[in-house]
């Protein structure tokens, strides 16, 4: 009986948290279970930013290029949804790393590596990368992913407790020892699918922000084509077991949006690619700089796998190095 009471108490606490921990996605108006407020997200992002900056070689030692990235990123902030706090501490940083990647923290800290920036052709593509990351922040993907992880792990923990407390000859023990591993695999697939959906949503959000800021939304497709070219030839896991959709699948969705939602923005003469400006303000300065330092791991593996807010060419290995895991450890240690 004491064991059953403990389980019921745990379930009651989880239910109470689910009832009280609701937040709103400002891009859709939908509510979702949340363990963090906007203020919490901003605090977590600001606390985490220095360590991630250091992990990826520090900030690029070129103030002119850094200002250019901030200029392009900041041009899209006035076009985010009204429900996003006006005082969110947006920051745009280019990292001195040849790892090809970009990511955002929930507080509005957006990063792009020089490795990815050097692969792009025009300012619209840079806006596509930064707009995509802004979309992760405005859609609160980091919060949603961490909250879903808490729910999934909490359910498995309760199930494990019930099976462990049951009599060895009971049906609960006999079937539970087989059912729990299946449930664990199932919850991981749900979280992986959620990450892929988040990438599609961030692609569309980025197209919206960049089009409103005066860029051709096809810049987003250009980024995905670059990633497809860079990732071709390597062995990849099945799409349904990948934390991110393949670039080809994202290109297909982007093409559909360009034919429909963003056809007018793409055709507008006021929306531009700004290839010359990008060559002058980004590619030429990067080409004249010393090589970036090697990644800390020495093999380019410091990539925060299995995270909804990590983008571009990420690792597909399901290791416990995601922001959700790091923040969970940070929260539990305080």
Q: What is the pLDDT of residue 73?
A: 98
Q: What is the pLDDT of residue 313?
A: 31
Q: What is the pLDDT of residue 162?
A: 43
- Averaged pLDDT in 10-residue chunks for the chain of 334 residues: 40 45 82 82 87 90 98 98 95 93 89 94 97 93 70 47 46 39 37 64 96 98 89 53 70 96 97 98 97 66 34 36 38 32
Q: What is the pLDDT of residue 152?
A: 52
Q: What is the pLDDT of residue 309?
A: 31
- 106-165, pLDDT tens digit by residue? 889 999 999 999 999 999 999 999 999 999 999 988 777 766 666 555 443 444 444 344
- 245-276, pLDDT tens digit by residue? 778 889 999 999 999 999 999 999 999 999 99
Confirm if 145 and 243 have CB atoms less than 8 A apart.
no
Q: What is the pLDDT of residue 269?
A: 96
Q: What is the pLDDT of residue 100?
A: 85
Bridge partners (DSSP) of residue 177 are none
Q: Which of 294, 281, 140 is nearest to 202 (CA)?
A: 140
Confirm if 247 and 229 have CB atoms less than 8 A apart.
no
Q: Which of 204, 217, 194 is nearest to 266 (CA)?
A: 217
Q: What is the pLDDT of residue 26?
A: 85
Helices (H), the chain: 2-20, 38-55, 63-74, 114-117, 123-138, 141-165, 171-212, 218-231, 247-259, 263-267, 275-278, 284-287, 323-333
Q: What is the pLDDT of residue 297?
A: 53
Q: What is the pLDDT of residue 157?
A: 45
Measured in whole angstroms, the distance separating CA 253 from the mean position of its chain's CA atoms is 18
């Amino acid at each position: 009986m004491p064991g059953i009471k403990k389980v019921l108490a745990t379930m009651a606490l989880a239910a109470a948290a689910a009832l009280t921990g609701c937040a709103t996605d400002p891009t859709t108006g939908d509510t979702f279970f949340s363990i963090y407020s906007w203020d919490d997200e901003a605090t977590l992002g600001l606390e985490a930013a220095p360590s991630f900056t250091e992990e990826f070689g520090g900030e690029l030692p070129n103030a002119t290029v850094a200002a250019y990235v901030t200029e392009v990123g900041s041009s899209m902030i006035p076009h985010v949804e009204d429900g996003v706090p006006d005082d969110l501490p947006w920051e745009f940083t280019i990292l001195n790393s040849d790892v090809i990647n970009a990511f955002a923290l929930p507080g509005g800290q957006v990063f792009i590596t020089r490795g990815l920036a050097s692969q792009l052709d025009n300012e619209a593509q840079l806006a596509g990368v930064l707009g995509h990351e802004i979309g992760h922040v405005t859609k609160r993907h980091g919060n949603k992913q961490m909250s879903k992880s808490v729910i999934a792990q909490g359910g498995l923990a309760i199930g494990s407790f019930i099976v462990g407390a049951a009599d060895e000859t009971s049906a609960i023990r006999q079937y539970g020892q087989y059912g729990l591993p299946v449930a664990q695999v199932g919850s991981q697939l749900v979280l992986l699918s959620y990450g892929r959906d988040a990438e599609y949503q961030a692609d569309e959000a980025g197209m919206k922000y960049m089009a409103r800021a005066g860029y051709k939304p096809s810049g987003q497709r250009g980024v995905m084509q670059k990633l497809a070219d860079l990732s071709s030839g390597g062995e990849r896991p099945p799409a349904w077991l990948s934390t991110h959709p393949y670039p080809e699948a994202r290109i297909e969705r982007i093409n559909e949006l360009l034919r429909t939602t963003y056809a007018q923005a793409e055709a507008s003469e006021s929306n531009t690619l700004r290839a010359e400006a990008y060559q002058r303000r980004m590619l030429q300065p990067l080409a004249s700089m010393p090589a970036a330092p090697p990644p800390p791991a020495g093999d380019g593996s410091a990539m925060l796998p299995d995270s909804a807010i990590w983008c571009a060419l990420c690792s597909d290995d399901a290791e416990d190095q995601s922001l959700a895991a790091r923040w969970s450890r940070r929260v539990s240690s305080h």
